[in-house]
Structure 1
Amino acid sequence: MYKQSILLNGQQLSIEDVHKVAVLKVNVEICPQALSKVKEARKVILEMLDSDIPIYGFNRGVGANKDREIEPTFYEEYNRNLILSHSAGVGPEASEAVVRATMLARLNTLLLGCTGIQPEIVMMYKEFLNKEIHPVVPERGSVGVGDITCLSHIGLAMIGEGEVHYKAEKKTAAEALKKARLQPIKLGPKDGLAIVSSNALAAGKGALVLKEVTDILEMAEIIYSLSLEGLNGNVSPLDKGAYKVRPFPGQEVSASNVRKYLQNSYLWQSNQTKALQDPLCFRDACQVHGTVRDSLEYVSNYMNLQLNSSDDNPCLLFEEKRIIACSNYEVLTWVLGFEMLGNALNHLAKIACYRTIKLSTPSFTGLPRFLSPSKETIAFGTIQKTFTSLANEIRHLSNPSSSDYFSLAEDIEDHASNSMHVVTKTATIIDNLYYILGIEAMHAAQAIDLRRENNLGVGTATAYTLFRSKVPFLDKDRNLSIDINEAYKLLKSGELLEKVKLATNKG
């Protein structure tokens, strides 16, 4: 049962919370003490209005225009122009969930009081989330030093410009604000920069991607367990003793999960005739999955820091009543983590493909070639082209791109990380993996049927039964694209994962 709302204070937002607000549309509330910080920070900014000290994005321009002085009488128009001029993103449009995650990520960091933004804008983020006003935000155009060209489109909506999705319809922002009984924001000093200059788009989407990695990793372990039963595989690599002498944390968790799914399986019976050693794609699965787990832990730790810390430049230290130029927008630490994670997922995809190929090979299974139910049936003779082509895409998506950047803004901005692109290609890797694992499940279930083995594990029996309710036994040749899509939808829905968890956690 989910909480009715999530209380934000700038310091305790979790990846799971992002999923709840973005996907499940849980409401948000703002901690009164955190809002007090925002108000105190705004007072400090207003006290600086008559200061002669040059301050980036406040009384001076941004980027290469940092030498341009902004007159106090020009604050509103300048900040409006900043929003308009930075609205330069290109499609595709971010999904509703990504937009919600983005607004949530930015709202939480605003509560630290490091921007000096007016409290009315902070409250507008909350209203947009709770009233489900979702600005149309293009996903591409950020180089990863603050997602300024994309986040500006949220600013557009707040001042009554641009478009939004409201009550499942695309409307002008002005129309949506009117229907929601909200007044467009009137921008003041530093407001424009506070809205556009953060990494909230990459961080918001990144948090959702990390939640998906967690789920698909457990799904991969369930499918691997099914494949072991389809192969009549050797379970000695799952022995607890091996992990005691080599206690790598991720692989211990993976092996524990597989043992749980295979509890009571026929594979544990000592009278089974098995190969002395199975191919590495079967033997090493927990080690490879464990590597993904270890990579995921690294990225998740830094993502939690990202979601609960200021990435503002300049950074307002309101308690000290000073504002400093800094590099808090630099996110290379967790961007490189995503690239490591993408590479680990590439290994997971590869061994899943090899397991699927092995399940179609009689010399490994003792079953008919391509798991054919009869001599007249071609069965899985061609499907290898499909999943290997998807794996090839993953291989190229796992290539690093954080080091590919240009020197911009008259050479003052000469470093970037391409954070949004890195996060997006990781999301594509995951989507391809759902297809690959779905096809592996098709082979595993077919092999189990041909083996006529009914004594499956507690978890695998649940997975097999649910899978067969969506994708029946291949008794004769049929359109396999339909089966592939059904398998993909089942895995992507999370239903199989949820039911296997329930089955294995009973008692």
Structure 2
Amino acid sequence: MNKQTFKIGEDWLTAGKAIAISTNKIAVILSKETEEKIEKSWTIVQKIVDKGHPVYGINTGFGPLCTTKISKSETNILQTNILQSHSVGVGDPIKTDIAKLMLILKAQSLAKGYSGIALKTLQRILWHIENDAIPIVPSQGSVGASGDLAPLSHLFLPLIGMGKVEYKGEIITTASLFEKTGLEPINLGPKEGLALINGTQFIAAHGVKVVSQLHSLLAQADIIGAMMIEGLQGSVKPFYNELHALRPFKGNIHVAKRVKKLLKGSEIMEDHIDCEKVQDPYSIRCIPQVHGASRNAWLHLKELLEVELNSVTDNPVIIDEELTISGGNFHGQPLAMALDYACLAASEIGNISDRRIYLALEGNSPGVPKLLMNDTGINSGYMILQYTTAALASENKGLCFPSSADSIPTSLGQEDHVSMGSIGGRKALQVIGNVEKILAIELLTAAQAFEFRKPLKSGIFLDEVHNAVREQVAFAQKDRIFANDIEKGIEMIQNKTIMKVVDRVQKEHSISLKTKFSTEFEVY
């Protein structure tokens, strides 16, 4: 079977496609038309150099040195120097998959044909992608405005024979890579160094991961929340279409319909249909409103990210022979603000999940014992698991301060407003990682509460989800080292185990959880 292909610079790139390229499920190709556009842009840069008319970054210095003229003979040296001088990143390296995404996103931008790079330079970047020779990029040092200068500089040091790469499972110098592969350093021409490091690819690569991982969290939070409703015998009425038609936010409607379908056919729900309880606490009753708001935030980020992934974000931009524009397409503000919003959206999923866990421990639901264990006193039950979720939720609140609210001038005031989107992207992933742990604990807690409803059965979805949990983690009749259970729960969240169970049940029983907004909320 032939692998799906993607025409770099031509086809519409999404977060899902970028991840598929990074995992070698989609192959990148460079069309003849794209090659011609790149060569045309390169030719224009050569003419600018020959004419000697000052154009920023081609025959001038950078930042506050923009008025310093560079001679024709020194334009190549300038481009090599900028990669070296701007490689000032610090901190632990970013994950290899994010660095590879940076290469993919940069190639997409350069292949648009407005950056003035040589074709051979883009072809070398594509070689790194195809052969998984991924540069080592420090995580700190970008302010997210004049492009992600420091991380992009490190990303492209291997083009000139410097820096390090991860190749075939080990970290080696680029010199060693060249020995193994027969490659040689590229002699960068005018504008190329600046084109490589001016852009938002560090921010955008983190955005791709946020879109992917937050999507998974949102889908699993609905399933886990539904299981907790079963365990605590909550009401299904807050999920009725009639209610949400009166406040028709897309996310709310989508979540309410999904949860209602997950609960359909449940003996547990039928067992208390005439009970005297008037209403549930907010963490149960307001799942559509809270999960739905986070869905809307995810959708907003996804839509903005797709624009960014298909944009030219370096500077200056070569429009044609008569027009070269030194503008601000490298500024990360459009994604920076959306990433902060997504960070908050993820944190709120963790906040409400922690509240449901606490609710499950109170012992106020008939049939479910306090701390989710019958023999307490000698046993602490699930008490301390909620301490962990409280700690994680609190940590997230501190991380939710918007990075984009800050700006520190750089470049001697030339770059006097910056986005800090690079920090926002890293923080968003950190928060998402914490929420994965919170949801893992809620999954275990909900499964424990669910057990006390036996011999009553849930609908076909949640019974199968519960069985999947029990394959990994046994019902707790007495205290044990719950950290081991939590680790298994985290693995289930990260491996999307319960999502796969729900997908399987849908196929086996020809039942769909889709809503009219499913495409918007599921395809990325």
Return the TM-score normalized by structure 1: 0.96
User: Distance between the aligned counterparts of 2:26 and 2:178, measured in 1?
Assistant: 21
Q: Using the TM superposition, give the Cα deviation of residue 208 of structure 1 relative to its aligned residue in structure 2, in angstroms.
A: 1.6
Tell me the secondary structure at the aligned position of residue 482 of structure 1.
helix
User: Is contact 1:18-1:208 (8 Å) kept?
Assistant: no
Partner of 2:522: none
User: Distance between the aligned counterparts of 1:110 and 1:198, measured in 2?
Assistant: 10
Partner of 2:291: 289
The partner residue of 1:420 within 419, 422, 425 is 422
Partner of 1:486: 488
Deviations 1:351-397 (A, max 9, x none): 11111111111124542110013244221122221110000011111
User: In terms of mean alpha carbon deviation, does 300-309 or 403-412 score higher?
Assistant: 403-412
Mapping of residues 329-344 of structure 1, within 5 Å: 329-344=330-345
User: Is contact 2:367-2:452 (8 Å) kept?
Assistant: no
Mapping of residues 296-307 of structure 1, within 5 Å: 296-307=298-309
Tell me the secondary structure at the aligned position of residue 66 of structure 2.
helix
User: Is contact 1:135-1:157 (8 Å) kept?
Assistant: yes
**1:267–1:100: structure 2 CA closer, same or farther, 3 Å change rule?**
same
User: Distance between the aligned counterparts of 2:91 and 2:272, measured in 1?
Assistant: 59
Tell me the secondary structure at the aligned position of residue 92 of structure 2.
strand
Mapping of residues 275-286 of structure 1, within 5 Å: 275-286=277-288
Q: Does 1:361 align with 2:362?
A: yes
Partner of 1:211: 212
Tell me the secondary structure at the aligned position of residue 34 of structure 1.
helix
Partner of 2:520: none
Partner of 2:108: 108
**1:394–1:365: structure 2 CA closer, same or farther, 3 Å change rule?**
farther
Tell me the secondary structure at the aligned position of residue 338 of structure 1.
helix
User: Distance between the aligned counterparts of 1:332 and 1:151, measured in 2?
Assistant: 18
User: Is contact 1:233-1:267 (8 Å) kept?
Assistant: no
User: Is contact 1:22-1:100 (8 Å) kept?
Assistant: yes
User: Distance between the aligned counterparts of 1:22 and 1:134, measured in 2?
Assistant: 11
User: Is contact 1:61-1:69 (8 Å) kept?
Assistant: yes
User: Is contact 2:112-2:312 (8 Å) kept?
Assistant: yes
Deviations 1:112-158 (A, max 9, x none): 11110111111111100001110011111000011111111122111
Partner of 1:93: 93
User: Is contact 2:94-2:139 (8 Å) kept?
Assistant: yes
Return the TM-score normalized by structure 2: 0.93
**1:199–1:490: structure 2 CA closer, same or farther, 3 Å change rule?**
same
Task: Show structure 1 runs of 5+ residues with no match.
Answer: none
User: Distance between the aligned counterparts of 1:31 and 1:414, measured in 2?
Assistant: 39
Partner of 2:432: 430
User: Distance between the aligned counterparts of 1:196 and 1:465, measured in 2?
Assistant: 50
User: Distance between the aligned counterparts of 1:55 and 1:298, measured in 2?
Assistant: 36
Q: Using the TM superposition, give the Cα deviation of residue 50 of structure 1 relative to its aligned residue in structure 2, in angstroms.
A: 1.7
Task: Show structure 2 runs of 5+ residues with no match.
Answer: 511-524
Tell me the secondary structure at the aligned position of residue 157 of structure 1.
helix
User: In terms of mean alpha carbon deviation, does 375-384 or 148-157 score higher?
Assistant: 375-384
Deviations 1:422-442 (A, max 9, x none): 011110111111110111111
Tell me the secondary structure at the aligned position of residue 317 of structure 1.
strand
Tell me the secondary structure at the aligned position of residue 506 of structure 2.
helix
User: Distance between the aligned counterparts of 1:180 and 1:25, measured in 2?
Assistant: 24
Deviations 1:37-70 (A, max 9, x none): 1111111111212223211110001111112111
Partner of 1:392: 394
Q: Using the TM superposition, give the Cα deviation of residue 174 of structure 1 relative to its aligned residue in structure 2, in angstroms.
A: 2.0
Partner of 2:383: 381
User: Is contact 1:265-1:456 (8 Å) kept?
Assistant: yes
User: Is contact 1:234-1:276 (8 Å) kept?
Assistant: no
Aligned residues with identical type, % of pairs: 28
Partner of 2:264: 263
Partner of 1:125: 125
Q: Using the TM superposition, give the Cα deviation of residue 408 of structure 1 relative to its aligned residue in structure 2, in angstroms.
A: 1.5
Partner of 2:151: 150
Q: Does 1:173 align with 2:174?
A: yes
**1:231–1:268: structure 2 CA closer, same or farther, 3 Å change rule?**
closer
Tell me the secondary structure at the aligned position of residue 139 of structure 1.
strand
